[in-house]
Homo-oligomer: A and B are copies of this chain.
Amino acid sequence: MIIIMERGATKVQIQKVIDLLKDNGFDIRLNQGKVHTVIDAIGDKTSVTPGRVSALDGVKEVKVIREPFRLASRDRKSEDTVIEFSNGVKIGGNNKPVAMVGPCSVEDDYEGLLKVALAAKEMGCEFLRGGAFKPRTSPYDFDGYGEKALKFMKRASEETGLLTVSEVMDAADLDMMCDYIDVLQIGARNVQNFKLLKAVGKCNKPVILKRGLASTIREFLLAAEHIMYNGNPNVILCERGIRSFDNAFTRNVMDIASIPVIKKYSHLPIIVDPSHGTGQRYLIEPMAKAGLIVGADGIMIEVHHDPEKALSDGKQSLPIPMFKEVMARINQLTGRLQYEKNCLSANIK
């Protein structure tokens, strides 16, 4: 920790900082410049937080040296985390990127869902995604069919062999969800719902954690840390766009560079969701490819058997025939990606 004192900080103020740090086991170096005094506190203690130090009078700024995430950090674990499922599918590391496809919401139409699942299977995808509980900005919008939708998901999984992903919004639903679903998803709006993070941390299912609209990379990794700290190491990060000043043509701005940044600082797998990231059907293919070429471990794409009748997010869903074309081209790219990925890792890590 480095503490920069205000110009004009008094000797008493400086001493108070030093005392607090020493009392907490830090090794102290004091550097007095002409204008500012800087205190270096050496040690990796958690007994005193930066906020505690910065509240002392005369402290201008506290600069933390180490990243605040620990379990999620490459400092602690240098090899990539790989999550393996019972059917042998793997996410992360040098494994082939996975594809998670399906409707935003599972609707009251099992045949429709099955059509999507069969197309996904045909194109070599590994996961069926579908919402049972939907976070909706307005209380007047459709918010999902709940357990009925989960039953459909399980049935489609049994018919196709696909693994399933669905969003959890409430810790109270967790046990029930775990009966139906292979991977739990935490949505962007719940990225700092710490009670929910804690609850999924106690589950034994892998968790996809979506980046919040205003999450910094550091906060995003700290949200993952909450899950890991509570006992669940199987976190899959998901970049799905952040909020910017321009939403005239896309819903969000996809922070594609966050993928190699996170690969450098964390061992966790990360996937990319161009449907939510852009909100535009025509941008799904290019942005999925952009994510993959910088090293993403998978893609999540909305596909609907009849987007014009979708109860949510139709604008950003691919209809099945278009999905097949797009996925074929993505598969072509993926087949060649191993080479790119190896080169990148060599440079990044």
Q: A interface vs B, CB < 8 Å?
A: 2, 4, 7, 16, 29, 31-36, 38, 40, 42-44, 46, 49, 51-52, 54-57, 63, 65-66, 68-70, 75, 135-143, 169-172, 189-190, 192-196, 212-214, 216-219, 222, 225-226, 229-230, 242-250, 253-261, 264-265, 277-278, 282-283, 285-287, 289-291, 293-295, 307-315, 317, 329, 333, 336, 340, 343-344, 347-348
Docked-complex contact A139 and B193, CB < 8 angstroms: no
Given contacts A55-B308, A246-B216, contact A282 B2 (CB under 8 A): no
Contacts of A135 in B (CB 8 A): 192, 194
Contacts of A286 in B (CB 8 A): 257, 259-260, 293-295, 344, 348
Given contacts A135-B194, A190-B193, contact A311 B52 (CB under 8 A): yes
Contacts of A245 in B (CB 8 A): 214, 216, 242-245, 247
Question: CA of A42 to CA of B190 in the docked complex: distance in angstroms?
Answer: 36
Q: What are 17 A-B contacts with C-beta separation under 8 Å?
A: A2-B63, A36-B65, A49-B142, A54-B315, A55-B314, A56-B314, A190-B192, A213-B214, A214-B243, A217-B246, A257-B283, A257-B286, A260-B282, A282-B348, A287-B294, A289-B294, A290-B293
Q: How far is the CB of A235 from chain B (nearest CB, A)?
A: 13
Question: CA of A57 to CA of B281 in the docked complex: distance in angstroms?
Answer: 10
Contacts of A139 in B (CB 8 A): 222, 225-226, 229-230
Given contacts A195-B170, A290-B290, contact A219 B257 (CB under 8 A): no
Select the residue from A33, A222, A313 with max chain B CB neighbours within 10 A.
Answer: A33
Docked-complex contact A253 and B250, CB < 8 angstroms: no
Q: How far is the CB of A290 from chain B (nearest CB, A)?
A: 4
Q: How far is the CB of A281 from chain B (nearest CB, A)?
A: 9
Given contacts A16-B308, A216-B248, 11 further A-B contacts (CB under 8 A): A40-B40, A49-B142, A169-B194, A170-B195, A217-B246, A250-B257, A253-B255, A256-B290, A257-B287, A257-B290, A286-B295
Contacts of A264 in B (CB 8 A): 282
Q: How far is the CB of A206 from chain B (nearest CB, A)?
A: 19
Total identical chains = 4
Question: CA of A255 to CA of B290 in the docked complex: distance in angstroms?
Answer: 11
Question: CA of A197 to CA of B320 in the docked complex: distance in angstroms?
Answer: 36
Nearest B residue to A141 via CB reads B49
Question: CA of A194 to CA of B140 in the docked complex: distance in angstroms?
Answer: 12
Contacts of A249 in B (CB 8 A): 217, 258, 261, 265
Q: How far is the CB of A17 from chain B (nearest CB, A)?
A: 10
Q: CB < 8 Å: which of B42, B216, B225, B336 contacts A138?
A: B225
Question: CA of A256 to CA of B232 in the docked complex: distance in angstroms?
Answer: 33
Question: CA of A49 to CA of B313 in the docked complex: distance in angstroms?
Answer: 11
Question: CA of A308 to CA of B19 in the docked complex: distance in angstroms?
Answer: 12
Contacts of A242 in B (CB 8 A): 244-246, 253
Nearest B residue to A225 via CB reads B139
Q: How far is the CB of A66 from chain B (nearest CB, A)?
A: 6
Q: How far is the CB of A267 from chain B (nearest CB, A)?
A: 14
